[in-house]
């Protein structure tokens, strides 16, 4: 029993050590970061998905992203950022929880964020409600 409690403590410590650095990132983007993101605009709406291999809801988003990539090629740019390996982009976007979806219009302006699992239909509705139907 003591060994099991000790292993839980070690596991909890490892998880906290991985997550805490992300929790102290600023939520607001600087003007410089906003300018960089705007320069990345390609003339089509963009969805940036932040997640990790250690996050179950993040893993559940993978088939949704793949379907969006397949069904909306040329109409929607879908990107995935693994927060474990790409801390620079994670910090630049001000991500502090995962999974998070960041929505951009075709000019590169962020207009919406959502946390947790989102279905394909929910994602398409966000774009449609903003006057950017993808169908």
User: If you average pLDDT over residues 15-37, what whole number do you get?
Assistant: 45
Residue 135 in domain: no
Residue 134 in domain: no
Is 10 exposed, middle or buried (CB count within 10 Å of its CB: 0-12, 13-18, 19+)? exposed
Catalytic residue at 27? no
Cα separation, 109 vs 105, whole angstroms: 5
Per-residue pLDDT tens digits for 73-113: 999 999 999 999 999 999 999 999 999 999 999 999 999 99
Per-residue pLDDT tens digits for 42-81: 689 999 999 999 999 999 999 999 999 999 999 999 999 9
Residue 12 in domain: yes
Alpha helices in the chain (DSSP H): 2-23, 31-39, 56-71, 87-92, 120-129
Residue 9 in domain: yes
Q: Which member of 58, 64, 101, 123 is catalytic?
A: 58
Residue 90 in domain: yes
Considering its fold, how many domains does the chain have in total? 1
CATH number at residue 28: 3.40.30.10
Q: How many helices (H) and strands (E) does the chain have?
A: 5, 4
Q: Which member of 47, 55, 61, 76 is catalytic?
A: 55
Contact in structure between 127 and 103 (CB atoms under 8 Å): yes
Catalytic residue at 58? yes
Residue 117 in domain: yes
């Amino acid at each position: 029993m003591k060994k099991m409690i000790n292993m839980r403590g070690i596991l909890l410590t490892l998880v906290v050590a991985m997550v805490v650095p992300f929790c102290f990132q600023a939520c607001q983007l600087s003007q410089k970061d906003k300018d960089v993101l705007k320069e990345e605009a390609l003339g089509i709406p963009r969805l940036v998905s932040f997640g990790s291999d250690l996050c179950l809801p993040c893993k559940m988003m993978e088939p949704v992203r793949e379907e969006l990539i397949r069904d909306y090629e040329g109409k929607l740019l879908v990107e995935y950022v693994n927060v474990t390996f790409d801390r620079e982009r994670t910090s630049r976007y001000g991500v502090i929880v995962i999974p998070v979806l960041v929505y951009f219009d075709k000019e590169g302006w962020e207009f919406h964020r959502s946390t947790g699992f989102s279905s394909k239909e929910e994602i398409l509705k966000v774009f449609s409600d903003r006057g950017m139907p993808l169908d």
